[in-house]
């Protein structure tokens, strides 16, 4: 994941960015672009109707890179709950 303020890479274990000192909000560090990228990859994986183990592992890595939470992933999988994305 990366800092929402200066985009420096941050360990998920840190509470503050080592570069700029911004508080790390794990749920809100993903930018709209990150979420859009994740969603397009997720939809690509879902084209065959399922997410296999390799794809699930890749998505987990992407979530860590983007700072996306699992609940965000669930929201993306359930279009009826897209309202949660509008506020971001
Ligand atoms: Zn920072």
The domain locations on the chain are 32-86
Q: Which two tokens stand for residue 7?
A: 């985009």
Residue 26 Cα to ligand 1 midpoint, Å, equals: 13
Does the pTM exceed 0.75? Answer: no
Residue 57 Cα to ligand 1 midpoint, Å, equals: 27
pLDDT tens digits along 31-86: 889 889 999 999 999 999 888 999 999 999 998 888 888 777 887 887 654 444 44
Question: Cα angle at 59 between 58 and 64, to 5 degrees?
Answer: 100
Residue 67 Cα to ligand 1 midpoint, Å, equals: 13
Task: Please tell me the distance from the alpha carbon of residue 17 to that of residue 72, in angstroms, as a whole number.
Answer: 22
**Three-class secondary structure of residue 7 per DSSP:** coil
Residue 28 Cα to ligand 1 midpoint, Å, equals: 14
Task: Please name the helix (run of DSSP H) or strand (run of DSSP E) that holds residue 15, with its range, or none.
Answer: none
Cα–Cα distance list, 45 to 53, 55, 76 (Å): 11, 7, 13
Residue 47 Cα to ligand 1 midpoint, Å, equals: 36
Q: What is the pLDDT of residue 83?
A: 45
């Amino acid at each position: 994941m990366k800092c929402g303020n200066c985009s420096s890479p941050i360990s998920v274990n840190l509470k503050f960015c080592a570069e700029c000192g911004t508080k790390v909000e794990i749920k809100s560090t993903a930018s709209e672009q990150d979420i859009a990228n994740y969603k397009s990859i997720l939809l690509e994986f879902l084209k065959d109707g399922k997410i296999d183990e390799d794809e699930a592992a890749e998505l987990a890595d992407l979530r860590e890179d983007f700072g996306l939470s699992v609940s965000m992933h669930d929201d993306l999988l359930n279009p009826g709950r897209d309202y949660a994305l509008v506020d971001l």
